[in-house]
Amino acid sequence: MKKIIVCVAVLILSSYHIAFAVNTTAKDSLPIKKGYSDVNGIKMYYEIYGEGKPLVLLHGGGSTIQTTFGRVIPALAAHRKVIAVELQAHGRTSDRAKDESFEQDADDVATLLKNLHIDKADFFGFSNGGTTTVQIAIRHPEIVDKIILGSALCKRSGMPAFFWDFMKQAKLSNMPEELKVAYVQVAPDPNGLQAMHDKDARRMVNFKDIPDEQITAIKVPALIIIGDKDIILPAHAIEMHKQLVNSELAIIPGGHGEYIGEITTLKTGSREADYVVPMLERFLDK
C-alpha cells in the first residue's frame, strides 16, 4: 500500500584489489574501515561502519561522505553495516578521462559491492546520489533490496526553470564554500576541484529525463524524501511516488538536505535529523 508521510503542517503540492585500514572518528569513536577499490578504471574510496545488513550511502554532487552524511552515519550504523562511498572525481576517489554520468556511477557502485563480496544491499542516495540510486535500481536490480531517494531528480521538470539557467553559467566561485573546503581537505590532489565542479555542472546541463517505463519498472520498496523548501519541486516527488508502485513519500520541513544535516544546512541549527533518522530506520526494518 502506498503511503505519504506528511511532516509539514500542510502538504505542499505544486581480479580487483581492495585495501583498507581501521580507524576511528574523533567525534564518536565509531570504528571505521577505510579503503580503496579498483573500480572500472578508477580508485574508488569507501568507508564501512557498524555491523548488520548493508546500507550503501551515496552523497550529493560536489560533496564527500562527511559533508552529506557525517551527522547521521553514527545513528545509521548503530544496527547496520553502513558502506559510504565517494563517486568519480569526488573527495578521495580518482577521476577518469570521461565525463560523469549517473549510469556510470551506478555501474561503479555495483562493481564496488562485487569487490566487497556484498550480493545485496539497501541504498540511500541524496541529491545526485539519489539519481544514481534510481539508476542502480534500473541497471542492477538484483543487488537492490530497498531504496531511499533523498531529493532525487528523475525529470528536468522536477527543478525550477532558474536552476537550469544557473547551471549553464555555473562557476567554481559559486560553489558552496563548505563543499570546496571539504574537498581540499581530503582530496589527494586539491587541484582536481575545478575538474570535479565542471563535470558536475556539465552533467546537470546535459541531464535527460529518465524514461517513465524505466521508473515504473522499479518494484523494490522505496522511500522518497524531500524538504518542503527543497530545490526539488514537491510536485516532482509526488509524481515519483505515483510512478514507483511500492513507494512512500515524506515531505520534511526545511531545505535541500536539511533533514539529514547536510553540511551547507548546518547554519540553520536544524534538528530534523533527530526524527528523520528513526523514520528511515523504520522503513528499512519493515
Runs of H (alpha helix) within 28-79? 65-69, 73-76
What confidence score (pLDDT) does residue 143 get?
98
| Alpha-carbon gap, residue 18 to 20, rounded angstroms | 7
| Alpha-carbon gap, residue 40 to 68, rounded angstroms | 24
- The per-residue DSSP string of 135-166 comes to HHHHH-GGGEEEEEEES---SGGGS-HHHHHH
pLDDT at 13 over 60: no
pLDDT at 9 over 90: no
Confidence bin at 267 (pLDDT 50/70/90): confident
What confidence score (pLDDT) does residue 226 get?
98
CATH number, domain containing residue 59: 3.40.50.1820
Three cell numbers written together for 256: 535541500
- The total domain count for the chain is 1
What confidence score (pLDDT) does residue 52 get?
97
pLDDT at 281 over 60: yes
Cβ neighbours of residue 198 closer than 8 Å, sequence gap 6 or more:
172
Domain holding 78, by residue range, is: 3-285
What is the pTM (predicted TM-score) of this model? 0.91
pLDDT at 16 over 90: no
What confidence score (pLDDT) does residue 2 get?
54
pLDDT per residue as tens digits for the range 188-245:
999 999 999 999 999 999 999 999 999 999 999 999 999 999 999 999 999 999 999 9
| Alpha-carbon gap, residue 115 to 85, rounded angstroms | 13
pLDDT per residue as tens digits for the range 154-186:
999 999 999 999 999 999 999 999 999 999 999
What is the rounded end-to-end Cα distance, in angstroms, of the chain?
A: 13
H or E stretch at 33 = strand 31-39
| Alpha-carbon gap, residue 150 to 68, rounded angstroms | 11
Q: Give the side-chain half-sphere CA count within 13 A for 36.
A: 11
pLDDT per residue as tens digits for the range 251-261:
999 999 999 99
